Amino acid sequence: MEKRYETAIFAGGCFWCMVSPFEVFKGVVEIKSGYIGGHVENPKYEEVKKKETGHYEAVKIIYDPEKISYEKLLKAFWMQVDPTDDEGQFQDRGPQYRTGIFYTTEEQRTAAEKSKRELDESGRLPGPVVTQIMPAPTFYDAEDYHQDFHKKEPKLYKEDRKISGRDEFIEKYWGNEFWELMEEEE
């Protein structure tokens, strides 16, 4: 019997920082960095960076729903971003760095809207949640040098992440909850 995998797509600012948080979960089969939501076919990084295509930087997560739920992936997503910022993420500014959830099924849309509403109503963040929830159009894989960047260029990745302010935000608003979510796997 063939395995049935599902796809989750999240935009959370620079895609370099959105791969490693998800690869720690059992049931995540593959993660691709790429572009979604723009008006140009087969966009290239330089075009996206210059704000010429309308795309978001995003990650496409292929997962086994028998091992990890979409709801758990949503929880992990919210803990990796500042969903109250509609101008970008942390040090990365511009429309290509906005947050977004791109659903591939009606069940995902419902789950994403519910999780957004609950997070917004919790009052734990510094403002209203502005992350958009949209149907997933075509996802374009980023260039090879962007795939698994944190493994290919660990020193540069660590330096970039350290100065970004992302980890300070996560610590301030989530503390150890992400690690606790991860430990639920075991």
Note the residue count of the chain: 186
* Structure confidence at residue 110 as a pLDDT band (50, 70, 90): very high
Taking each helix axis as running N to C, give the angle between helix 106-122 and helix 70-78, from 0 to 180 degrees, rounded to the nearest 10: 40
Q: Where are the domains of the chain?
A: 6-183
Distance CA 128, CA 57 (A): 22
Instruction: State the residue for tokens 């490693």.
Output: 20
pLDDT of residue 170 exceeding 90: yes
pLDDT of residue 112 exceeding 60: yes
* Short-list 76, 58, 60, CA closest to 6: 60
Per DSSP bridges, beta strands 139-141 and 132-135 are unpaired
CATH architecture of 6-183: 2-Layer Sandwich (3.30)
pLDDT of residue 123 exceeding 70: yes
Instruction: For residue range 8-33, list pLDDT tens digits in order.
Output: 999 999 999 999 999 999 999 999 99
pLDDT of residue 40 exceeding 80: yes
Instruction: For residues 135-161, give the mean pLDDT.
Output: 93
Residues belonging to the active site: 14
Average pLDDT, the chain: 94
pLDDT of residue 179 exceeding 90: no
- Are 115 and 72 a contacting pair, CB within 8 Å? no
pLDDT for 121: 96
* Structure confidence at residue 181 as a pLDDT band (50, 70, 90): confident
Instruction: For residues 149-156, give the mean pLDDT.
Output: 92
pLDDT for 56: 97
Instruction: For residues 136-142, give the mean pLDDT.
Output: 97
Instruction: State the residue for tokens 């075991």.
Output: 186
Distance CA 95, CA 105 (A): 25
Output the pTM of the full model: 0.94
Beta bridge partners of 58: 34
Instruction: For residues 45-60, give the mean pLDDT.
Output: 95
